[in-house]
Structure 1
Amino acid sequence: MIKNPQTVFEIENRFQASKHTLATIIQSLWRGYIARKRYTRTKALVICCQRLARQRLRYRRSMKLRAFNAVTQKIVFVQKNIRRLLAVRAYNRTRNAGLTIINFVKGFLSRNDPPNAYNGRFLVYKQTKYLIELSGALPKSLIDDCWPNPPNCCVEVSAYLKALHRGWLSRIYRANLAKCPETYER
């Protein structure tokens, strides 16, 4: 309550004098409020963008990792199957080698028996070896009567070959005799 009119004029003069400073204070407060509001909104948008960017990076990394894991799984699957295939081949090779050795021993033990499933290779080997030895030890003339002893499996063939060879030698002897009989008259 103002009782003195002088006080009213004094208050009015003071108000007029400080009106610019009050307006400046109000303007600065308002501008600060607006700037703070703009800053908080910008900060919230930046944080949201960062969150979305990080989320996108995490998604890309997870997709790359998922693709890498899928490729790795495929590579491991292929490697596993190749290793299994190679192991099966090695097992079969070892097994076949063992069976070959067993059959070879059985064939060797039954090499003098009649032909069967085990000694067939031995008989072929013996026949081949005998024929090779025979080709080097054939008699050169009819007077030479030596003939290599055949194995059991080649007795019949040896007799037939001996008869053929003797016939061939006699044919050569007769042909040479017909060419120049005077050399053989002595």
Structure 2
Amino acid sequence: MCLKDLYKPLCPDTWPNWQGPLADGVSTLVNHLGYKPEEYKLGRSKIFIRFPKTLFNTEDALEAKKPEIVLTLQTSWRGYRERAKYKRIRHAVMVIQSFWRGMKARRRAKRRREAANLIRRFIKGFIYRHNDYCSENEYFIDHVRRSFLMKLSKNLPKNVLDKNWPTPPPSLIEMTQKVAASEMFMDQKDSYPMSVPRLFLDSRLDREQINLKVAQTLGNDKVQYGVTVVKYDRRGFKPRPRQLLLTNTFAVLVDRTKIKQKIDYTALRGISVSALSDGMIVLHMPNEDKKQKGDLVLHCTHVIELVTKLALMANKTSYVNVSSGSIRFVIARGREGFVNFTRGSGLRVVKGKRGHLMVTAPNINNS
């Protein structure tokens, strides 16, 4: 082995590697070790050391240097190993962080998407809340029902005599009206089955359709229900278009801007309809009341709805009479008239030869 390679740790210029000619490297090494000119002879490719003591001193210096070399190597190796370990741990931490942050972002995006869909379903359900129960409004309706029941459970009355209950939803009023209609017309009137799937509306007239002068005349009596009807004169049965407006205490028959007749619920003696599919209604009024002009003969397309609301507001559901053949009514001053009903191909209302009002109702197949 070359002297330079063997003892190069002893000289900082040759350690760890010498960059240059070999002879220059050996010369640098021996000069650093303090060789005297008489102790060695440097040739072209070899060096001759004259005294063994010089070589032994060099060997002793190398042995003394080895622990420092070993310590340097150990330090470098341990540093390399720890840096490699740190890099592996750092890479693993970055991978875990990246995965965790990605999972959190995906969860957050999922929650936002679900929240947006929930709000969208809620708004869509609110828009379609008056429609039949369907996929568009099922979430909103179920939420309203659950909220009402939860609120009711937290506000139960303290005793059975307490009448302070939470305000029921509007569907309760409609259900009450539907149940009342069932009790009055089920298996008695031909047109009743067709009215079952149809919702009862709060009013068949918009606010703009009710004359402002009429509304001012009614004052504090708010119109609870309004519908277009045809009123037949008591003499001659001439049809005249009218509006029938129901309040909490009375009903009025309106001709455009003028109230033609006021019907107090307390004075109403009865409500008669036919058992067929026509829309004829007879409101029976007291004969002794001079303010009344006799019974009212009306025709309404929404006969089931109108009679149900009128009977409930007047609290006279037991006064509703379903006649199968004819209806007798009072014209004026005790004189009587009749409305006769028959089945036919279509609706037809005419005055008969005997002075009776002849109504032909269309056949309806309810099977």
* TM-score normalized with structure 1 length: 0.51
How far apart, CA to CA, are the structure 1 residues paired with 2:308 and 2:328? 13
Distance 1:132 1:101 in 2: 19
> Displacement, 1:101?
4.9
Q: How does 1:51-70 map to 2 (within 5 A)?
A: 51-70=87-106
**Letter aligned with residue 126 of structure 2:** A
Distance 1:30 1:109, change over 3 A: same
Say which structure is richer in strand.
Answer: 2
Kindly state the Cα deviation for residue 131 of structure 1 after the two structures are TM-superposed.
3.8
**Who is 1:139 aligned against?**
none
Quickly say closer, same or farther: Cα 1:157–1:92, change in 2 above 3 A. Answer: farther
Unpaired segments ≥5 residues, structure 2: 1-36, 39-49, 133-169, 171-199, 210-224, 230-243, 245-297, 321-325, 331-367
Distance 1:66 1:130, change over 3 A: closer
| C-alpha deviation, 1:77, in angstroms | 1.7
**Among candidates 53, 56, 78, match of residue 114 of structure 2:** 78
CA distance in 1: counterparts of 2:205 and 2:124, whole angstroms = 24
Match of 1:103 in 2: 204
Alignment partner of 2:300 out of 109, 115, 140: 115
The answer to whether the aligner puts 1:44 opposite 2:44 as a matched pair is no
Q: Partners of 2:88 and 2:80 in 1: how far apart? A: 12
Task: Give the AA of the match of 1:80.
Answer: A
CA distance in 2, matches of 1:109, 1:156: 23
Q: CA RMSD in A?
A: 4.1
Find the partner of 2:327 among 134, 153, 156.
156
CA contact (8 A) 2:205 2:226 kept: yes
Q: In structure 1, what residue type is equivalent to 2:308?
A: V
- TM alignment of 1:107-146, pairs within 5 A: 108-111=226-229, 112=244, 114-117=299-302, 120-127=304-311, 129=314, 131-132=316-317
- Per-residue Cα deviation, 1:50-89 (whole angstroms, up to 9, x for no partner): 0010110110111111111222222122111111111111
Matched positions, count: 128
Cα distance per residue 1:90-133 (max 9 Å; x no partner): 22237999x9456354761414552214x642233225537458
2:70 corresponds to: 34
SS of 2:110 mapped into structure 1: helix
Structure (1 or 2) with the larger CA radius of gyration: 1
The list of structure 1 runs, each at least 4 consecutive aligned residues, that deviate by more than 6 angstroms after superposition, is 94-97
- SS of 1:39 mapped into structure 2: helix
Q: What corresponds to 2:148 in structure 1?
A: none
Q: Tell me the secondary structure at the aligned position of residue 116 of structure 1.
A: coil
Alpha-carbon offset, residue 23 of structure 1: 3.9
The answer for the alignment partner of 2:123 in structure 1 is 87
C-alpha separation between the residues in 2 aligned to 1:54 and 1:23?
A: 45
Distance 2:106 2:328 in 1: 70
CA distance in structure 2 between the aligned counterparts of 1:76 and 1:37, rounded to whole angstroms: 57
Identity of aligned residues (%): 5
Matches of 2:316 and 2:116, distance apart in 1: 52
2:203/2:226 contact within 8 Å kept: no
How far apart, CA to CA, are the structure 1 residues paired with 2:101 and 2:89?
18
Quote the Cα distance in structure 2 between the aligned partners of 1:122 and 1:156.
18
**Could you tell me the TM-score, scaled by structure 2's length?**
0.29
Comparing 76-85 with 120-129, greater Cα deviation is found at 120-129
TM-aligned CA deviation for residue 38 of structure 1: 2.3
